[in-house]
Amino acid sequence: MDLLRSLPLGLYLEQPQTWLHKLDPRVKLLWLMSFLTTYVFASNLWRISLVAILILVTIFAWIPRRVWRQQMGWLLILCFFVFIIAALTPDGLGVNYQPRRPINESVSLAPPTIPSTPPPTTPSLPPPVKAAQNYRYVLVNKGLVRVTRRSLDLAVSLSTLLFTIIYSTNLYLLTTAPESITAAIEDFMQPLRRFKLPVTEIALTLTLSLRFIPLVLEEVQNLIQSVMTRAINWKKLGIKGGLKVWLIVAERLLDNLLLRAEQMANAMVVRGFTSPNEHRVQWHDFHLKIRDWFAILMLLIFWGVRIAIGVKV
C-alpha cells in the first residue's frame, strides 16, 4: 500500500513539465479563484461547462494519464452518486395546491333565474392566458422514483460543485510548486503590509505546511504497513482491543509528526534562520510572459461569457 502513489491528492507533479507548469502561479491562482467564484448564482449550463473545461484542460495539458485517471475517475463516480441521491431525494415542496373555485362550477343549489330585462352591456374581457402545454414540474414519477425540476436542479448543483471545488484545487496543486504558491499569495498580500500584517510570516507558515503534507502521508503509510506486517488477529481482539491498537497507532503517529516538526525547526536554526524578514529566500522572480498575457486575455473572455450567459434566471 503506497499512499503517496494511490492517493496523490495535493501533490506536485515535477515531471513532465507541461504548459500549465510554465504559467505564472499568480495567473493560475486568478484562474482558480475564478473557477471557485463564478459558480455562485450561475445557471446549470455554466456549472456543467466548468466541469467540461476542467476535463478538457487536463487532457490538452498532456498530463500523464496515470496521474489524473484514478483521481478523476473516483471523483466522477462520487459526483455521479451524489447526483443520483439528490435527484431521487424529495425536493421539500410537498404542498398540494387546491383550486380556489369548485371543480364543477356549473352545479349550483338553486336553479338559475332568467332576468326580465337584458343585462347591461359590459366591455369584453381578454381571453385567459393558457399555460404551457409542455411544462411539467414532476419529470419522472414511476413507483418510488420521483424526480422533480427542483430536485434535478439541486442534483446538478451539488455534483458539479463537488467536482469543481475538489478538482480545480487539485489541478492547481498538481501543476504548481508549493514555493510558487506561497510566493504568489505573498505577492497578492503585499498591500496588507500597510495594516502591519505579517505577510512574510504567513507565507512562510503556508510553505512549511505544504511541505509537511508528504511527511504526514509517509508516516501514515509506515504505520499502516507496520500494523499489517504483524498479522494481528482482529477477531480475537474484538472491538475494544481493536480500538486500543488504533489508539496506540494514532499516538505513535502524533509523536512521529512532532518529531519531524522539531527536526525541521532545528534545521532552520542551524542554517541561521532568525526571522522571515531578515533571512529571506527569494524562490521566484515573477515576470509575465506572452503565454501569461494570453492566459489573462482568456480569463477576461471567461468572465465576459459568465456575465453574458452564465447568470441564473
- The Cα 175–Cα 10 span in angstroms is 10
Of the candidate ranges 49-58, 104-113, 186-195, 263-272, the one whose mean pLDDT is the lowest: 104-113
pLDDT digits (tens, 9 = 90+) for 215-249: 787 888 888 888 888 777 777 778 888 888 888 88
Nearest-CA neighbor of 6 among 157, 221, 215? 221
Q: Please report, to the nearest 10 degrees, the dihedral formed by the alpha carbons of residues 218, 23, 76, 69 taken in order.
A: -60
SS3 284: coil
Number of residues written out for the chain: 313
Phi/psi of residue 139, each to 5°? -85, -45
Query: What per-residue confidence (pLDDT) applies to 265?
Result: 81
pLDDT digits (tens, 9 = 90+) for 124-164: 555 555 555 566 777 777 877 878 888 888 889 999 999 99
Query: What per-residue confidence (pLDDT) applies to 144?
Result: 78
pLDDT digits (tens, 9 = 90+) for 6-60: 555 557 777 788 888 888 889 999 999 999 998 888 888 899 999 999 999 988 8
Nearest-CA neighbor of 52 among 171, 152, 156, 160? 160
**Nearest-10 crossing angle of helices 25-37, 290-309:** 10
pLDDT digits (tens, 9 = 90+) for 252-297: 888 888 888 888 888 877 877 766 666 665 656 678 889 999 999 9
What is the value of pTM for the model shown? 0.70
152: its cell numbers: 434535478
